[in-house]
């Protein structure tokens, strides 16, 4: 039987349920970033190739991003709490396997399992939260807390990893997941309700396969071009990826219940908000990953000290995510989107004084200034997605928002990281594909070390400038295309949910 929404205020059980839900949310976000500072240690212990190193980082985000929407639909139809329980248990199993993986290939496989499990958690968690808090204001506050936890997970992942790596082996960054997993499995059945939308249709398996295969093949091509140059196989993988993604988009337009409801994107505010979920995570993940390597391999900081440098940004990011819903209620979504993009652009440009021999203060300032924009983006995207969707599609709509975050996280490392890899290959000493590999070569000369560090720094600067320009451009587009609150400027539809209601209403003719 379907759950019905009540108009009463949430009680203690709802808030306790929220606390339980935040556990998996933190895990999924943290595991998207916890390896940023651990990669030099993993490189030394497992000796992965440059390609394997990127996949160790990327495969988790790609698995989450490719399957989030599918699992959002599954949760809507077959039970959100059931999916949460299964996904959390699988996440714990993947974490245990990754912690003791003896080879790069097995580490990639267990990271992929964690990504598949993580894809079950976010959309169902957000949908269960929406059922716990039926009052719009209380739900907005709860979603703000949800977004803050998600943001905090991304932000504290490298810090937590740095602290663990200063005392334990690299696999410890995965074992920290197990206590949270066990606590959730014990408390969730007591505090959370099973929720279904009552839908009877099946998730469209071809759509899932088309999107996942298209993303992986496209990114595989870009990464190989940047890291190793042209190869015959890439002439097949690149076009194949594009064709598969195009086929996925066409299929969604024909399905009665698509994985991605493109009608939501006809609302320009919703569309910009979703892009705001993707682009900031792309910038943040790429800079955090490259910055972690720079702090350790170029400037010589320990993992723990490198983590401390990122603390100001983590605090600002988390605090901003918490206060953003209240500010948006006063200033409107337009102001929040503008503030997000322009503060991120400004913060990224503060990385330019970071050099091969100093600039820690500039790095900390960059993370703090950009952290304001990152925090805003997390909160705005989640609230927009849930508010725009009808209740029975809450899981799928929430998955669109979280998919933009997770794909941004993965694409940032894959695409912007590939830009840094390309510049390192072209300007470095050409002794190895990555900076950590180069520095670990026996008998390497001081001149080659200096060239390698300089080339890596150039790549980091190029990534920062590229991301800053993209954010400034999106901010300018927002300024031009999104009207001020109360403006009489015409818009196709003021609210995505109103659009859905209008299109689904019976015709009067």
- Cα–Cα distance, 74 to 86 (Å, whole number): 12
Cβ atoms within 10 A of the Cβ of 204, count? 18
In a domain, 225, yes or no: yes
Start-to-end C-alpha separation, the chain: 35
* Same structural domain, 358 and 389: yes
Q: What is the pLDDT of residue 505?
A: 40
Residue partners of 467: CB distance under 8 A and separation at least 6: 279, 282, 283, 286, 287, 344, 348, 416
Q: pLDDT per residue over 34-77, tens digit each?
A: 776 677 788 888 888 777 877 887 788 777 767 766 776 676 66
Confidence class of residue 402 from pLDDT cuts 50, 70 and 90? low
* Same structural domain, 223 and 349: no
* Same structural domain, 233 and 379: no
Q: What percent of the chain has pLDDT over 90?
A: 18
Which residues form the domain of 333? 17-203+259-483
Q: Does the pLDDT value for residue 2 go beyond 60?
A: no
Q: Does the pLDDT value for residue 497 go beyond 80?
A: no
* Same structural domain, 463 and 321: yes
* Same structural domain, 110 and 223: no
Structural domain count, the chain:
2
116-130, 232-246, 377-391, 424-438: segment of lowest average pLDDT: 377-391
Confidence class of residue 29 from pLDDT cuts 50, 70 and 90? confident
Q: What is the pLDDT of residue 155?
A: 67
Most confident of 240-244, 288-292, 382-386: 240-244
* Same structural domain, 437 and 469: yes
* Same structural domain, 32 and 104: yes
* Same structural domain, 219 and 340: no
Instruction: Outline where 201-332 has alpha helix (H).
Output: 205-228, 234-254, 268-293, 303-309, 311-331
Q: Does the pLDDT value for residue 4 go beyond 70?
A: no
Confidence class of residue 227 from pLDDT cuts 50, 70 and 90? low
Q: pLDDT per residue over 440-491, tens digit each?
A: 788 888 889 999 999 999 999 999 999 999 999 999 998 887 767 655 444 4
Q: pLDDT per residue over 124-175, tens digit each?
A: 776 777 777 777 677 767 776 776 777 677 667 777 777 787 788 888 888 8
Chain centroid to CA 234: how far?
A: 27
- Cα–Cα distance, 103 to 293 (Å, whole number): 21
Q: What is the pLDDT of residue 33?
A: 66
Structural contact between residues 284 and 414, judged by C-beta atoms closer than 8 angstroms = no
Q: What is the pLDDT of residue 406?
A: 65
In a domain, 506, yes or no: no
Residue whose pair of structure tokens reads 């300089």 in the numeric block? 454
Q: What is the pLDDT of residue 322?
A: 78
In a domain, 443, yes or no: yes
* Same structural domain, 154 and 99: yes
Q: pLDDT per residue over 335-354, tens digit each?
A: 888 999 999 999 999 999 99
Q: pLDDT per residue over 299-327, tens digit each?
A: 988 777 887 887 888 788 878 877 887 78
- Cα–Cα distance, 170 to 54 (Å, whole number): 17
In a domain, 174, yes or no: yes
Q: What is the mean predicted confidence (pLDDT) over 98-115? A: 91
Supply the mean pLDDT for the chain: 78
Closest CA to 309 of 151, 159, 157: 159
Q: What is the pLDDT of residue 72?
A: 65
Q: Does the pLDDT value for residue 265 go beyond 70?
A: yes
CATH number at residue 182: 1.20.1250.20
Q: What is the pLDDT of residue 385?
A: 62
Q: What is the pLDDT of residue 10?
A: 58
Q: Does the pLDDT value for residue 395 go beyond 60?
A: no
């Amino acid at each position: 039987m379907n759950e019905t929404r009540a108009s009463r205020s949430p009680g203690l059980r709802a808030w306790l349920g929220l606390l339980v839900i935040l556990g998996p949310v933190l895990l999924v976000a943290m595991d998207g970033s916890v390896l940023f500072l651990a990669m030099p240690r993993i490189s030394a212990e497992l000796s992965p190739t440059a390609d394997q190193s990127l996949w160790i980082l990327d495969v988790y985000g790609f698995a989450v991003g490719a399957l989030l929407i599918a699992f959002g639909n599954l949760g809507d139809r077959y039970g959100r709490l059931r999916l949460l329980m299964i996904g959390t248990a699988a996440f714990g199993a993947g974490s245990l396997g990754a912690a003791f993986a003896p080879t790069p290939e097995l580490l990639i496989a267990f990271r992929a399992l964690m990504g598949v499990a993580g894809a079950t958690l976010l959309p169902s968690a957000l949908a269960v939260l929406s059922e716990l808090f039926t009052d719009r204001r209380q739900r907005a506050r709860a979603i703000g807390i949800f977004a803050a936890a998600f943001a905090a997970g991304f932000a504290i992942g490298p810090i937590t990893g740095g602290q663990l790596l200063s005392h334990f082996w690299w696999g410890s960054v995965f074992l920290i997941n197990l206590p949270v997993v066990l606590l959730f499995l014990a408390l969730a059945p007591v505090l959370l309700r099973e929720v279904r939308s009552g839908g009877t249709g099946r998730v469209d398996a071809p759509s899932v396969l088309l999107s996942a295969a298209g993303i992986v093949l496209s990114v595989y091509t870009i990464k190989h071009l940047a890291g190793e140059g042209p190869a015959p196989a890439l002439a097949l993988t690149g076009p194949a990826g594009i064709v598969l993604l195009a086929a996925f988009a066409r299929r969604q337009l024909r399905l009665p219940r698509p994985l991605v409801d493109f009608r939501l994107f006809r609302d320009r505010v919703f569309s910009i908000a979703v892009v705001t979920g993707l682009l900031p995570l792309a910038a943040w993940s790429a800079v955090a990953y490259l910055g972690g390597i720079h702090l350790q391999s170029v400037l010589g900081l320990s993992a723990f000290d490198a983590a401390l440098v990122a603390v100001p940004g983590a605090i600002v990011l988390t605090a901003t995510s918490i206060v953003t819903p209240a500010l948006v209620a006063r200033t409107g979504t337009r102001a929040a989107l503008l503030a997000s993009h322009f503060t991120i652009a400004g913060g990224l440009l503060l990385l330019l004084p970071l050099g091969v021999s100093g600039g820690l203060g500039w790095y900390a300032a960059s993370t703090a200034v950009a952290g304001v924009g990152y925090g805003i983006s997390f909160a705005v995207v989640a609230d927009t997605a849930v508010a725009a969707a009808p209740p029975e599609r809450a899981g799928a709509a929430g998955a669109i928002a979280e998919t933009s975050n997770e794909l941004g996280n993965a694409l940032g490392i894959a695409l912007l990281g590939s830009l840094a890899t390309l510049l390192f290959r072209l300007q470095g000493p050409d002794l190895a594909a990555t900076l950590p590999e180069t520095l670990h070569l026996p008998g390497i000369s001081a001149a080659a070390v200096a060239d390698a560090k300089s080339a890596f720094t150039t790549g980091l600067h190029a990534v920062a400038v590229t991301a800053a320009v993209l954010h400034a451009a999106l901010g300018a587009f927002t300024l031009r295309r999104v009207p001020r609150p109360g403006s009489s400027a015409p818009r196709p539809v003021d609210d995505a949910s109103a659009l859905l209601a209008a299109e689904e209403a019976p015709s009067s003719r």
